[in-house]
Amino acid sequence: MSFEAKGIITAMVTPLTADYKINEKGLRKLVNYMIEGGVHGLFVVGTSGEFYGFTAEQRRDAFQICIDEAKGRVPVYAGVNGITTAEAVSYAQMAEEVGADAISVLTPMFISVTQAELYQHYADIASSTKLPMLLYNNVGKTNVNIAVDTVVKLSKIKNIVGVKDSSGDFTLTSEYIRNTYQAEKPFYVLSGRD
């Protein structure tokens, strides 16, 4: 698997029409605006993209529109966030079907999980797809934090290629880097508050 996460990867908003449908024209315009502005990738239907407000069909439409409009100029990272593992697996498979370049997966929300359960959650999602997968730590939104040891264990799974840390805790981010720097394969640590 050849994959590289680099540069500015924008967490996109998802434009809607007045009747709450995906605004295809607006989304295509936004994709081009971002790419012409020099971004190196697009996070689609993540926390900034308000994933929680969309049906599966709307997510598929947003993924497809962004992939189609990006035309391979930059990678498209599909947000496959779900409350349950099964839900996230279904979105991961959807992202692969429509041609996403990678997926980003938020920790479960609304439930408390142990680190062992969190490991299994991510391992199950990774095994459901061939796409490169980024773990997504956003404790402020989910109240679930991915421990450094858990990230290290997950980094050994072939298609788990990195972690996006939106915790705002730079000590944690630096520990992710320090503990995965010498990994057997490239492992990317991204940081951004979105």
- Active site residue: 91, 119, 122, 164, which one? 164
| 181 noted as active-site residue | no
| 119 noted as active-site residue | no
Q: Which residue has the tokens 């966030």?
A: 81
- Active site residue: 77, 91, 122, 136, which one? 136
Q: What's the half-sphere exposure (Cβ side, CA atoms, 13 Å) at 183?
A: 23
Structure-token pair, residue 99: 């041609």
Dihedral sign for Cα atoms in the order 54, 65, 129, 132:
negative
Distance CA 120, CA 51 (A): 22
Catalytic residue numbers, as ranges: 136, 164
